[in-house]
Amino acid sequence: MPRPFRFGVDLLTPSTAGEWRAKCRRAEDLGYDVILVPDHLGMIAPFPALVAAAAATERPRLGTYVLNAGFWNPALLARDVATTDALASGRLELGLGTGYVQAEHDRAGLPYGSPRERVDQLRRTVAELERLLGSPEQLPRPAQPRVPLLIGGNGDRMLELTAEHADIASFICRRPVPGSRSGQLMPLTPAEVDERVIRYEKFASGRAEPAELNVLIQVVAVTEDRERALQPLVDRLPELTMEQALVMPIALVGTVEQIVAQVRAQRERYGFSYLTVLEPFMEEFAPVIEALRGE
């Protein structure tokens, strides 16, 4: 039995108080199940934004997508997680990652580290958060007995960590461009995503309860001409064929009916039942949510 669909929107743009409340209410009205915020310099601060979102809405859950572990001291992070979950009446979902933008760490005066060092730091952060938030002596206390944990990444060590600890496994389906300090990423091919999901499933084979599988959608375009909409992406990535682009899990392009079919097919192929879209596509994706509601 496939897991029911959930839909999240990652809100990226700094806003005034009134604009932020209106944007969150609009996401709720459009049927989004989760309102998410990123963790990048130049964008909104995660926890104040989520507290404000909680005050403006009633139904959606609220999450970070995703916190850069290198930005956070685990003890201070546990305090903010617990406070936010309490103020949000138990609607928080905590998303964590290693961080992938070296320039942001440099601006903040924080060490960036090698990929191995960043995964090690994330592992320590996850372990300390579980210890602190699971302790009855920890104050403040979250409203939920366990704040659901999402971990996002693609590499073997990240997938292993995700399988061990995460309630939600998020597949970014992109990898860093070698040598980029600005966080430039390139998409995985569908075959590469297949391999990563199979690898995760191997690590997760001993879990008592399967995790929810999430994917971050990079492009949504409702159009009659799929190939024309995807041509700029194919032109930018010579190693990507149009045939691959048409079935990439991070690009949902076509009529509403075609996108709905693609989303269903991706749940069957990869197990992706929780889809996150970026703020610029919040309105365009809404008819797809309506068509898939309850499935």
CATH at 184: 3.20.20.30
Indicate if the pLDDT at residue 145 is higher than 80: yes
Grade residue 210 by pLDDT with cuts at 50, 70 and 90. very high
Whether residue 72 is contained in a domain is answered as: yes
The larger pLDDT score, comparing residue 89 to residue 235, is at 89
Whether residue 257 is contained in a domain is answered as: no
Note the pLDDT of residue 176.
66
> 272's torsion region: left (phi>0), alpha (psi -120 to 50) or beta?
beta
Whether residue 209 is contained in a domain is answered as: yes
Task: Give the number of domains in the chain.
Answer: 1
Mean pLDDT of the chain: 94
Whether residue 248 is contained in a domain is answered as: no
pLDDT in tens, 52-83: 999 999 999 999 999 999 999 999 999 999 99
- Mean pLDDT, residues 248-277 taken together: 96
Any idea which of 54-68, 235-249, 254-268 has the lowest mean pLDDT?
235-249
Whether residue 249 is contained in a domain is answered as: no
**Residue 254 token pair:** 């076509």
Greatest CA separation found in the chain? 58
pLDDT in tens, 151-172: 999 999 999 999 999 999 999 8
Indicate if the pLDDT at residue 186 is higher than 90: no
Rounded-to-integer distance, Cα 173 and Cα 101, Å: 16
Whether residue 234 is contained in a domain is answered as: no
- Mean pLDDT, residues 101-114 taken together: 93
* Pairing mode, strands 34-37 and 6-10: parallel
Note the pLDDT of residue 183.
53
SS3 of 2, please? coil
Whether residue 148 is contained in a domain is answered as: yes
Domain that holds residue 46: 6-217+270-292
pTM for this predicted structure: 0.95
**Residue 58 token pair:** 């009633």
pLDDT in tens, 36-47: 999 999 999 999
**Residue 26 token pair:** 């609009």
Note the pLDDT of residue 129.
98
Whether residue 57 is contained in a domain is answered as: yes
